[in-house]
Structure 1
Amino acid sequence: MGSSEMSTLRAVLFDRDGTLVVDVPYNGDPGKVRPMAGAKEVLDGLRAAGIATGVVSNQSGIARGLITADDVAKVNARVEELLGPFDVWEVCPHEEQDSCSCRKPAPGMVHSACRKLGIHESEAALIGDIGADVGAAEAAGATGVLVPTPVTRAEEVAAARLVASDLSSAVGLLQELP
């Protein structure tokens, strides 16, 4: 990774569940956190290249009363123990009915993460496993990359401009962009 290749990309944001860690619905138990294959290596590579990393995660279980904000914080701390430190964390605690500006596919968390990092949205990418992740990136003016899992809907894959088989390939795609 030469510095010239990465000049336009200053941050890579990730969805948490199904992208960085195996999706455990409404997980409030740090003991259930399992990294996705290759996640640590990809993150270490980005950090070594001076690219900021962040997490943007819908956690509607908080609004639904299934988990607490403290549970989410404990799980996020475990994610960092396993995968290393992130420069920014954004969590949306709302349900779809709340019509907030942060819940993906709304762009609020991407805008907030970029503000905190001091970068323009065009200098950021968001990698996730569902259409809402790509939608949030595009609505914010960032680059979205879809890394489908077996639960990703076919129409979400068809609609995504950039699709990769895994996190490493997703970052590779970003490095090839003009």
Structure 2
Amino acid sequence: MINQVVQHYFQLPRHIQNSISIMKLIDTYRKNLQIEGFESVTHYCVVMAKITDQLLAFLSSESKHVPQLYFYHQQEGVHSFPINIELTEYSSKLYSMKKYLLLADDDLITRFQLMLSAYSVNVYGILPDKVQIVTLMDGKTHEYSPTAEDLILGQQYVKDLKKTKMKQESWERRL
């Protein structure tokens, strides 16, 4: 849901990128969520309130200063690994990537940062100046400036994910 709201918000013409548009998009895409996936109706309401609050804050501020935006969704193929990147900013001075997550611990944030670094070099041939992971449940932004060593770690992590996925698919075919 978060991916869809962010992507469609930035595809809107700038003059209608506002809080009303954010609320409409949240209302549209929240209908795809299954309430049964939450602990209770109260839990669903709390999560939706936090997501709404944080998306209103982050997206409203983003749309005022982002020079260029690109959205990428890498389709899953035989040997690829899918990844959604909600926001990529590019100007002559800065190249950054941003990923919105509902909730993440330090380990997951680190893995996403490494994975986005590897993805960037694979697709664009350069490391981003900055990678940001935004966790909506706590409203935190985790910034990271990748290095060449991080690229090596990220590429190894992606290879390991692919191997694990291939083993799992092989196991499932046997069943």
| TM bucket, shorter chain | under 0.3
**TM-score of the two chains, using structure 2 as the length reference:** 0.26
* Structure with the largest fraction of helix: 2
- Structure having the higher Rg: 2
**TM-score of the two chains, using structure 1 as the length reference:** 0.26
Which has the bigger relative contact order, CA under 8 A and spacing at least 6? Answer: 1
